[in-house]
Amino acid sequence: MRVVPESDLPAVEHSMFVFDGNKTIKSFKGGLPIHFTVFTDIPLPAGSYRFTIRFFPDGVITYNQGQKVWAYDPLAAEARVIVSAGGTGWIPVTPGQRGAQFRFYA
């Protein structure tokens, strides 16, 4: 897993992986399952907050003439968000499509 500047990505991948700004976190393992976590502490004053995570599941099952063929198994890609003592369960996400998950805290 690494932080990648947009300038280090192929131009065709800019709109896939970079949502805001000019960097993305990219984690991959060609041809094998992968599990990764991102941790951070954010000191916030009391209040109400919306936590948003945006992602692009790059689940490729094969390549056809240089083009990605997205995995079609419903369990090929999943996401889970855990914040403090709460969070989501594992939620299937669609390879090849941008996704987002939201959590609200008060």
pLDDT per residue of the chain (106 residues) written in tens, 0 to 9: 889 999 999 999 999 999 989 999 988 877 777 888 888 888 889 999 888 889 999 989 999 999 999 999 988 899 888 877 777 888 889 999 999 988 887 7
DSSP 18-68: --STTEEEE---TTS-------------SS-EEEEEEE----EEEEETTEE
Residue 97's pLDDT is 93
Residue type, 99: G
Residue 26's pLDDT is 87
Q: Residue 94 is encoded by which pair of tokens?
A: 């669609």
For residue 3, list its beta bridge partners.
Answer: 25
For residue 63, list its beta bridge partners.
Answer: 68
Residue 19's pLDDT is 92
Q: Return the DSSP state at 73.
A: S
Q: Return the DSSP state at 7.
A: G
The domain ranges of the chain are 2-105
Q: For residue 8, what are the contacts with CB-CB under 8 A and spacing of at least 6?
A: none
Smallest CA-to-CA distance from 34 within 81, 88, 82, 76 is with 76
